[in-house]
Amino acid sequence: MKRIAVYCGSASPADPRYVALAREVGQTLATRGIGVVYGGGRLGLMGAVAAGALEAGGEVIGVIPEALANAEVANHDCTELHVVANMHQRKQAFTDLSDGFLTLPGGVGTMDELWEAVSWAQLGYHAKPVGLLNAFGFYDDLLAFNRRMIDVGFVREAHVGILIAEPEIDVLLARMAAHKPHRPIFAMTPDDL
- Mean predicted confidence (pLDDT) in 91-106: 97
CA distance 28 to 25: 5
Q: Which residues contact 190 (CB under 8 A, 6 or more apart)?
A: none
* Residue range 164-184, pLDDT digits in tens: 999 999 999 999 999 999 999
Q: How far is CA 163 from CA 117, 132, 136, in A?
A: 9, 7, 18
- Mean predicted confidence (pLDDT) in 73-83: 96
* Residue range 118-135, pLDDT digits in tens: 999 999 999 999 999 999
pTM for this model (two decimals): 0.95
Decide if pLDDT at 17 tops 90: yes
* Residue range 27-44, pLDDT digits in tens: 999 999 999 999 999 999
Identity of the residue numbered 92: Q
> E-strand spans in the chain?
3-7, 35-38, 60-65, 80-84, 101-103, 130-133, 163-166
Q: Can you name the CATH fold of 3-180? A: Rossmann fold (3.40.50)
Q: Which residues pair with 6 in a beta bridge?
A: 102
Q: Which residues contact 63 (CB under 8 A, 6 or more apart)?
A: 37, 38, 39, 40, 82, 84, 90, 93, 94, 97
Position 86 scores a pLDDT of 95
